[in-house]
Chains A and B, each alone.
Chain A
């Protein structure tokens, strides 16, 4: 759970910078920031599940 928490913190902070420095209206940038958070988390979970099934022995 600790890992998921820190990953979410990382995604949120990165998305803030990406969203604020992006071009467009406030609404568009907010949407972009939220999209970045969602993508970070979704890809991390997806990769986590893929790696779960790969035996490294």
Chain B
């Protein structure tokens, strides 16, 4: 029965627009749902990600990046959280270009909270991106 379901899902062709919506949803949190005219979802999902990201910066968290100076497996300690951070799309790219949020402020009490907020903002935006993609592809009401 599950196999039948999977087969049925495979037959449904993904519209090109869904990929665009997914890309926009990743680039600007909430924008994918706006394209789909899901105003409330856009406000809730986008709002949560934006608030979490900005709070993360305000709390003194730092964004991860691979500098090329890491040795051996040390690169994984930067790469994996960086993938999480990149989930916030243009927010991460703008911060990277403006060099905002990359300095470590470990002396702050809220430093770890800030890091966690920034990481989870990216991961949640991946979830929001998939949600927008599914809606655009007609897989979700």
Q: Number of residue pairs across A and B with beta carbons under 8 Å?
A: 41
Could you say which residues of chain A place their CB within 8 Å of the CB of B120? 10, 14
Are A10 and B116 CB-contacts (below 8 A) given A2-B110, A17-B48, A20-B131?
Answer: yes
DSSP majority for the B interface? helix
Tell me, in angstroms, the Cα distance from A13 to B50 when the chains sit together.
10
What count of chain A residues pass the 8 Å CB interface test? 13
How many residues of chain B have a CB within 8 Å of chain A? Answer: 22
26 A-B pairs with C-beta separation under 8 A = A3-B113, A6-B59, A6-B110, A9-B55, A10-B113, A10-B116, A10-B117, A13-B48, A13-B51, A14-B120, A14-B124, A16-B45, A16-B48, A17-B48, A17-B124, A17-B127, A18-B127, A20-B41, A20-B44, A20-B45, A20-B131, A21-B45, A21-B127, A21-B128, A21-B131, A23-B140
| Chain A interface residues toward B at CB < 8 A | 2-3, 6, 9-10, 13-14, 16-18, 20-21, 23
